Structure 1
Amino acid sequence: MAILTAAVVQASAPLFDTPAALSRAEGLIREAARTNGAQVIVLPEAFLGGYPKGLDFDITVGRRTDAGRELFRRYHAAAIEVPGPEVQALAAVTRELGVHAVVGAVERQGGTLYCVALFFGPTGYLGLHRKLMPTAAERYLWGQGDGSTLPVIDTGAVRLGAAICWENYMPLFRTTMYAKGVEVWCAPTVDDRDQWQASMRHIALEGRCFVLSANQFLRRDGLPADLRTDDMDHVLIGGGSMIVSPLGHVLAGPLRECEGILAADLDLDDIARARFDFDAVGHYARADVFSLSVDESPRAAVRF
C-alpha cells in the first residue's frame, strides 16, 4: 500500500503586501510539512498577489476612473514575476523540506496580470498553469491563459495537475487533464459556496482521482485600512477547503469559518480500485463517437 500525505491550506494573505504574503506562504508550507507530515501541499487561489474580493475598481460599462486606475496600479505592483524572487524563495523552501507544493498567485507579465498555479518540488520550481478563463469581473483584472500551460507534474509517486476555481466547471478542460493522467487534482479557489463541495466530489468521482481543494478565508479586516468599512468581522471568503477520494468520499473538511490546515493520508492504490469500473478517457470514453482536440501551442501577440 502506497500512502501519500496531502494537505490543503485555508488562509488569506495581505492584499497589496507581497513580502508579507510570501512570508505567510513560506510559514504555512513549513507548518503543513512539519506539523502535518504533508508531502503535497496546496495553497489557495491568488495567495501571492491577492484576491481583491468585493472591490470593483470603479468600473462600469464604458467608463473608468482615475481612482480605479490607481487601485489597479497597486494591484499590478503587488503581482509577482515568474521567474522572480518570490518564486526563488518558495523553491528554496520546497527543496529544503523535500515536498511538493501548488501555490496560487497573480503573475505580472508586462501590462497584463494572470491568475496562476505555481508548482514546486524537491528540485525547486517546476512550472505554472495560467487560468484559461477568468470569471465575470475577474476579466478586467486578468488575462486569459493559453494551451501551453496545462502541465501534469510527475512526482515519481503521483501525477499532479491543477484547475483554478471555475476552471473546474469546464468539461473539456477536465477531459484534457484526465487524458494527461492526473491522479491528484489540485483546486486552488475562492469559491466558498456549498455547491463547490458538490463539484469537488463530482470531479473526484468523474476523474477517479484525489481532489485537494484549498480556499481562502478572508474577513474585511484583512483588507488594507483604506479599503475597509466599519463591519470588520464581515466574512468576504468563507473557506470550505476539503480533500476527496477517487470514489467521491470526503477525507477531510469542509473547513468553515476559520483558517486552518487539513491533512489526509491518501492510499494511492485507491486510484486503480476506482478506475476498475470507470475511466473517463479509457474504457468509458467511446472514442468512436467523441473526440477532443487540444491546442497546446503558446499564443504570443508578436512573433519575431
Structure 2
Amino acid sequence: MAPTTIRLGTASPGTQATTAETLAQLEHIARQAASKNIDILLLPEAYIGGYPRGTHFGCVIGSRTNEGREEYLRYFQSAVDLGDTVGDGAGAGQAWVNRELPSDAVPGSDGGNDAPNKRGDGTREELERISRDTGVFIVTGLIEKAGGSMYCSAVYVCPRLGIIGKRRKVMPTATERLVWAQGSPATLRAVSTTIRGVRINMAAAICWENYMPLLRQALYAQNINLYLAPTADGRDAWLSLLRTVAIEGRCFVLSSNMCVRSRPTPNGHPTNHPEEDEEKANGTTRDASPFTQPHAGTLHHRRRQSILDDDGNEIALACPPPPSKPRGRRQSIFDEDGNEIVLCKPTTTTTKPTTTTTTTTEPGPATAKSVFTSRGGSTIISPFGDVLAGPQWEDDSGTLTHADVDFADCIRGRLDLDTAGSYSRNDSFRLEVRGLDLAPLPY
C-alpha cells in the first residue's frame, strides 16, 4: 500500500511592527518547518496586516471620530495589496490565480517595464518565494485591501505552483464588520495538492465562520480531508469546536491563533485596548502599525470602582480610597473576551495584642502576572477528535507544533459517519451555495 503519512505543522506567532518584519518572521518559521520536515504549515488569522484587537476606530452608533478615521487609514495602509480585484467580494478568481489580469503599472511610469504582469505590492511574490525556497506548503491569514475595502483573507501557497487559491472571510464577526468587507461564498472553494503521492483536498474556515453549520457543510461536501481553521479565538471553548469539526467532517483539523501578551501600564496592570483620551492628553501617537500589540497608559480622571459579572452587568463597589491619599487611576484587567474587570484596592487589617498593622496591596510591574490579550491555542486534531499536537497555550516564542498524520484515517472514519455523503440524506436535504460548485473532489 502506498504511504499516506504527511507532517502537519502550526505555530502561534504575533504580527510584527511592519509587513516586512512579519514576512521575515514568516520566512524564519517556514525555514524551521522545513528543518523539521513539515509539509503543510498553517499560520494565524490576520497574521500579515494585524488583527485590530481591542480598538473601536472611534465608532459608536451614530457617531465617528476624526481620530478613528485616522486609525482606520493607518490600518488600511498596513493591509497588503495582492493585486486582486473586488469582484463582488470574490476577487477575480482563477484569472488572479493564473496572473491573467492586466498590469497595474501606470502608463508612462518606470515601474511596468521590467514586470509587465506585476500587480500589487509584492507580498504575493514574497510569499511564493518563501514557499518555493523552503519547500513548505504555507497557508496564512492576512488582511488584504482591494478597491476601497479590506478583507480578512487566507492564501494557499504551493512551493511548486505558487498561490493556488485564496479565501475571503464571508462573515466578519461582530465589530470586525466596521473595517472588513464581506467576502463571497465563492471563495469557499477547496484546493488540492499532492505531497509524496498523497492527494490532499483542503479548505479554510476563518475564525467564527467555523460556528456556521452551513458553511462547514459546504466544505465537507467538497470531500476535503484537511480542514484549516486560522483564528483569533483563544478561549478554551475553541478546542471543543475543533474536535467537533474533526469528528463531523472526518477530516484532520489544523488551527492557528496568535499568542500576544498585554503590555503593562505604569502601575503594573495589563490592558488590551488603546486609551484614546489618554493619547490626546499626553500628545502621544501610536506605532506605524498599531495592530500588533495593545497600547496602555494612565487616565487622568477618577472613575467608579466596579466589576463585571458573567452576564456582562456592571456592579459598583463601595470601596473608595482613604481620604488622606490622592485619588488615582482605577486598577483593572481584561479577561479573554475583552471585558474590563475593575479591581478595588484592598485594605487588609490584621489585629495583634499590642499593635494594629494596615497593609495596602498594589502590585507593581515586577510582580504583575503576565496576561495575554490572545492566548494562542494552535492545535492539530484527528478525524476521530483526538488532539494530536497542542493546544499551544500562552506560547509566544514562535515554537512549532507538528504531528505526523495518516490521511487514510479520513477514509476509515467514513465507515460510520460521512456527513456529506451517505450519512447526509441528500435525497431529503440539499445545500446550495451561490457561486460555488459543491461537487466532491476526487481522492
Q: What is the SS of the residue equivalent to 1:27? A: helix
Tell me the equivalent position of 1:283. Answer: 422
**1:153 & 1:26 partners in 2: Cα distance?**
23
Q: Deviations over 1:186-244 (max 9, x none)?
A: 11001011110000000000000000000100123499558621589531101111100
**2:189 & 2:137 partners in 1: Cα distance?**
14
Tell me the equivalent position of 2:237. Answer: 195
Counterpart amino acid of 2:214?
L
Q: Is the contact made by 2:30 and 2:134 (CA closer than 8 Å) also made in structure 1?
A: no
Structure with more helix by fraction:
1
Q: Is the contact made by 1:163 and 1:187 (CA closer than 8 Å) also made in structure 2?
A: yes
**2:16 & 2:53 partners in 1: Cα distance?**
12
- The size of the alignment, in residue pairs, is 295
Matched, 1:78 2:120: no
Matched, 1:88 2:130: no
Q: Is the contact made by 1:26 and 1:93 (CA closer than 8 Å) also made in structure 2?
A: yes
Task: Quote the offset at 1:30 in angstroms.
Answer: 1.7
Q: Deviations over 1:143-193 (max 9, x none)?
A: 000122122111122111101000011111111111111111111001011
Alignment equivalent of 2:379, drawn from 220, 224, 242: 242
Alignment TM-score, normalising by the size of structure 1: 0.93
Tell me the equivalent position of 2:100. Answer: none
**1:278 & 1:235 partners in 2: Cα distance?**
38
Matched, 1:46 2:46: yes
Q: What is the SS of the residue equivalent to 2:10? A: strand
**1:70 & 1:140 partners in 2: Cα distance?**
14
Alignment equivalent of 2:190, drawn from 149, 152, 159: 152
Tell me the equivalent position of 1:170. Answer: 212
**1:271 & 1:175 partners in 2: Cα distance?**
16
Q: Is the contact made by 2:253 and 2:381 (CA closer than 8 Å) also made in structure 1?
A: yes
Task: Quote the offset at 1:113 in angstroms.
Answer: 0.2
**2:179 & 2:26 partners in 1: Cα distance?**
23
Q: Is the contact made by 1:178 and 1:280 (CA closer than 8 Å) also made in structure 2?
A: yes
Alignment equivalent of 2:225, drawn from 147, 172, 183: 183
Task: Quote the offset at 1:5 in angstroms.
Answer: 0.2
**2:217 & 2:134 partners in 1: Cα distance?**
33
Q: Deviations over 1:13-39 (max 9, x none)?
A: 125x211111111221221222x2110
**1:107 & 1:257 partners in 2: Cα distance?**
27
Task: Quote the offset at 1:97 in angstroms.
Answer: 2.2
Output the aligned Cα RMSD.
1.8
Q: What is the SS of the residue equivalent to 1:108? A: strand
Q: Is the contact made by 1:4 and 1:268 (CA closer than 8 Å) also made in structure 2?
A: yes
Q: Is the contact made by 1:88 and 1:125 (CA closer than 8 Å) also made in structure 2?
A: no
Alignment equivalent of 1:4, drawn from 3, 6, 11: 6
**1:102 & 1:71 partners in 2: Cα distance?**
28
Q: What is the SS of the residue equivalent to 2:185? A: coil
Tell me which structure has the larger Cα radius of gyration: 2
**1:88 & 1:176 partners in 2: Cα distance?**
30
Q: What is the SS of the residue equivalent to 1:296? A: coil
Identity of aligned residues (%): 39
**2:208 & 2:189 partners in 1: Cα distance?**
18
Q: What is the SS of the residue equivalent to 1:291? A: coil
Tell me the equivalent position of 1:255. Answer: 392
**2:204 & 2:257 partners in 1: Cα distance?**
14
Q: Is the contact made by 2:139 and 2:154 (CA closer than 8 Å) also made in structure 1?
A: yes
Q: What is the SS of the residue equivalent to 1:23? A: helix
**2:392 & 2:384 partners in 1: Cα distance?**
20
Long gaps (5+) in structure 1: 298-304
**2:185 & 2:207 partners in 1: Cα distance?**
17
Alignment equivalent of 2:411, drawn from 265, 272, 284: 272
Counterpart amino acid of 2:54?
G
**1:54 & 1:20 partners in 2: Cα distance?**
22
Q: Deviations over 1:66-121 (max 9, x none)?
A: 10000010000000111331111010111122221110000001210000011100
Q: Is the contact made by 2:39 and 2:136 (CA closer than 8 Å) also made in structure 1?
A: yes
Q: Is the contact made by 2:34 and 2:135 (CA closer than 8 Å) also made in structure 1?
A: no
**2:168 & 2:388 partners in 1: Cα distance?**
28
Matched, 1:30 2:31: yes
Tell me the equivalent position of 2:167. Answer: 129
Tell me the equivalent position of 1:220. Answer: 262
Counterpart amino acid of 2:216?
R
Q: What is the SS of the residue equivalent to 1:88? A: helix
Tell me the equivalent position of 2:179. Answer: 141
Alignment TM-score, normalising by the size of structure 2: 0.64
**2:42 & 2:189 partners in 1: Cα distance?**
16
